[in-house]
C-alpha cells in the first residue's frame, strides 16, 4: 500500500476519501494475509472461520485429519457412523475454495453413489457455508444460487 505522489512527504491534510481508500486497501491486505495463513493451516481455518456455538468446535480427530492434509499428498479416513466424516469433507471443500480463490483452483467431489453427493455431502457444504464468519474469511457470506450452487461452488476464479 502506498500514498499517491502528491501526499508523499507532504504535511497537507489528506482528504477523507483518500483516508477511506487507504483504510479499505489496508483492510484488504490484512484479509489477504489472513487467508494466506489459513491456506497452510486448514485446522485453524475451521476453528476460526466457522461460527461455533459455545463448547463446540472440530474434535481432536477432525483437527488431526485437517492438519494431515497439508502434510501428505493423499489422506484417507474411515470411521464409524456419525463420526463427522462428511462434515469434515464439507469443511475441506470450503477451506480450499475460499483460501485458493484468486488462483486457478478446482475441487472434485465424488462418491461411490451419486446420492451420497446429493443427499449428504452437498447439503453438508450448504450447512457449514451458512456458518462461515464473513469477518474471518474477509468476504461476504456465500450466497445461495450465486456462489453456492446446488452441487457446486462458483467463486471468482474456480
Ligand X SMILES: Nc1ncnc2c1ncn2[C@@H]1O[C@H](COP(=O)(O)OP(=O)(O)OP(=O)(O)O)[C@@H](O)[C@H]1O
Closest approach, Cβ 100 to Mg ion, in A, equals 24
- DSSP bridge partners of 144: 148
Total residues contacting ligand X by CB under 6 A comes to 13
CA distance 35 to 40: 9
- Residue 37's contacts (CB-CB under 8 Å, 6 or more residues apart) are 44
Q: Which of ligand X, Mg ion, none is residue 62 near (CB under 5 to 8 Å by kind)?
A: ligand X
| SS3 category, 24 | helix
CA distance 136 to 110: 28
34 near ligand X, judged by CB under 6 A: no
Closest approach, Cβ 39 to ligand X, in A, equals 21
CA distance 19 to 17: 5
How many helices (H) and strands (E) the chain has is answered by 7, 0
CB atoms within 10 A of CB 90: 22
What residues between 113 and 142 interact with ligand X by CB under 6 A? Answer: 124, 127
The 35-74 site mask, x for binding ligand X (CB under 6 A), equals ---------------------x-xx--x------------
What residues between 69 and 98 interact with ligand X by CB under 6 A? Answer: 81-87
The 58-97 site mask, x for binding Mg ion (CB under 5 A), equals ---------------------------xx-----------
Residues that bind Mg ion (CB under 5 A): 85-86
Amino acid at each position: 500500500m502506498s500514498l499517491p505522489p502528491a501526499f508523499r512527504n507532504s504535511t497537507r491534510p489528506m482528504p477523507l476519501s483518500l483516508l477511506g481508500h487507504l483504510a479499505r486497501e489496508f483492510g484488504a491486505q490484512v484479509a489477504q494475509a489472513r487467508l494466506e495463513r489459513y491456506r497452510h493451516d486448514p485446522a485453524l481455518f475451521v476453528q476460526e472461520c466457522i461460527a461455533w456455538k459455545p463448547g463446540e468446535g472440530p474434535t481432536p480427530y477432525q483437527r488431526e485429519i485437517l492438519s494431515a492434509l497439508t502434510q501428505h499428498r493423499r489422506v484417507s479416513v474411515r470411521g464409524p457412523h456419525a463420526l463427522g466424516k462428511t462434515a469434515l469433507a464439507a469443511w475441506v471443500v470450503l477451506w480450499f475454495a475460499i483460501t485458493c480463490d484468486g488462483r486457478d483452483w478446482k475441487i472434485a467431489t465424488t462418491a461411490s453413489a451419486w446420492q451420497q453427493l446429493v443427499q449428504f455431502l452437498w447439503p453438508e457444504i450448504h450447512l457449514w457455508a451458512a456458518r462461515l464468519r464473513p469477518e474471518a474469511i474477509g468476504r461476504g457470506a456465500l450466497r445461495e444460487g450465486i456462489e453456492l450452487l446446488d452441487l457446486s461452488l462458483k467463486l471468482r476464479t474456480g
